Structure 1
Amino acid sequence: MKRFSIAGLGAIALIAGATFSTKIPVVANIFENGVAIAQDAKKGQVQLQLEAEKKVVQNAQGKQKVAWQPLKGKVMVQPGDVLRYSVTGANNGDKAIKNLTINQPVPRGMVYVVNSTTVNANSGAEITYSINGGKTFVKNPTVQVKLANGDVETRPAPDTAYTHIRWNFGKSVAASSAVKGTYQMKVR
């Protein structure tokens, strides 16, 4: 049975693109305890934090209960384990930031759990996905499948095809506020 070690979740799994209204961000990445800071000289700074939890199913009085156990430091996961990642983007500046975009790749050895992505209410975020290494993003990825009779049919992309998740906060993220997105991954 294969086991995977996840060390320094922030350094391994957090790839965030902060796109500002000027489209020319000045970026300083600081990966320490799952935190990255992206700074735009005109708009202030956005602090990005990545946290992970492991899905634990407990049996209590004959009923299954799902709990999420925080992962800290160096941990071991096994094939079939489901992890929930939370990405928080805090605008620490004194002005709203327009066009904030957060991109998360699907880590090696993991598969995206389809329809597991969320974003905090009233954020106005658009959630899109890539199945081509982050080149293009769409709301509902599809693939062309050749059938036995030779016809080609368009179908929803399988979970193994997903390569990136993107949250685009198009309007703005107000000063001194935060946005949060979550998604789940399954260890292969």
Structure 2
Amino acid sequence: MTSEYNLLLADDHSVVRQGVSLILKYSLPNIKIVQTDTLNGILEKLRNEPFDLLILDINLPGGNNVSMIEKIKSIRPEIKILMFSAFEEDVYAIRYINAGANGYLNKLGNEEEIVEAVGKVLKTGNYISENLKEKLINDLLNKNKSGNPLEKLSNRELEISRLLVSGYGNLEIANHLNIQMSTVSTYKGRIFEKLDVKNVVSLADLFKLYEESV
């Protein structure tokens, strides 16, 4: 890359931001990196300055679901977004890419993968890992009959499932997501039915099997 690029790096852990910044500046010296740790910080910086790429942690204060993409794109429709998370790629990557992200990078990847992902999004506009490519091909060949039952859940159902597994009660979930308790109960029943579980303990066991980070 010969052009100069502006990157916005959003993660709520300072050590992660500093580490990623050092890796990228060493390998891609023609980039400027601005850091923030909340969704509101992202939106404020986007209103004041254009960026070529946003490296976005999924679990960010002020926003922890796919609706973040829409809010970001409403301010800077042209910005490229690379999701950055330790959450299981098989479960989350396609959801965020379908919502408008340009790629998904696992935090457990090595330095070379970080540099490759950022470089590819800046150059070509998209990035998916070799593991995800293989999964997409396998899903296509097997008519999308994946062995991961969590993929049966909608984005909202997955979000509520994660809160249930994390110990949230129905009222806490309703307040957290600004929805009615009856709506939470409806989603909870639907989740249990789709995954064929009877209680939150069984749901948590299922997440332990199919999701590395909850």
Q: Report if TM-score (shorter chain) is over 0.5.
A: no
- More helix per residue: 2
* Larger RCO of the pair (alpha carbons < 8 Å, separation 6+): 1
- More strand per residue: 1
Question: Given the two structures, how large is their TM-score scaled by the length of structure 2?
Answer: 0.27
Question: Given the two structures, how large is their TM-score scaled by the length of structure 1?
Answer: 0.30
